[in-house]
Amino acid sequence: MIVPKSYEELAACIEGEGKIVLFFTADWCPDCQFIYPALPEIEAAFADFTFVRVDRDDYMALAQKWDIFGIPSFVVLEKGQEIGRFVDKNRKTKTEITSFLAGLK
C-alpha cells in the first residue's frame, strides 16, 4: 500500500499505470479500523492493482473533489479516469470489497 506524503506524491500515484485503488480512510474511523487487518489479503488477491491509502483529513480537497463523504471508501482509476467506486458511509467487509474489485478486473 502506498501512503503518499504530499499532494504531489498523490498526483503521481493517480497518474500511474494500471488500475489504482484510492482507499479513503482516517485513523480515527472505527469502520476503517475494522477493515485494516484484511487489507494485506485483499492487496495480495489483487496484485495487479496499486493500492493508495488516502487520509481523508490530510487530503480533504481531493476527498471533496471525488465526492467522498463517508469512509472507508474506494475509488478505482485507470489512466486517470474513474472506472468504479464503492463509496458510502457504511462499514465494508472483506467480502464486499473483494466482490467490488473482482467486478473491475
Number of H helices, E strands in the chain: 5, 4
Asked if the structure places residue 1 within a domain, the reply is no
Q: Which helix (H) or strand (E) holds 73?
A: strand 73-78
Domain residues for the domain of 93 are 7-102
Q: What is the CATH number of the domain that holds 60?
A: 3.40.30.10
Looking at the structure of the chain, the number of domains it has is: 1
pLDDT score of 46: 96
Residues forming a β-bridge with 54? 24
Q: Which of 32, 54, 68, 97 is catalytic?
A: 32
**Least-confidence region, from 14-18, 35-39, 69-73:** 14-18
Does residue 62 surpass a pLDDT of 90?
no
pTM of the model: 0.92
The rounded percent of the chain whose pLDDT value lies above 70 is 100
DSSP state of 57: T
* Residue 13 designated active-site: no
**Exposed (0-12), middle (13-18) or buried (19+): which is 53, by Cβ within 10 Å?**
middle
Asked if the structure places residue 2 within a domain, the reply is no
What is the rounded average pLDDT of the residues 65-83?
A: 91
Asked if the structure places residue 73 within a domain, the reply is yes
Asked if the structure places residue 13 within a domain, the reply is yes
Return all residues near 19 (Cβ < 8 A) that are at least 6 apart: 48, 49, 50, 76, 77, 78, 83, 104
Cα 14 from Cα 5, distance rounded (Å): 14
Q: Which of 10, 20, 22, 29 is catalytic?
A: 29
What is the rounded average pLDDT of the residues 65-94?
A: 90
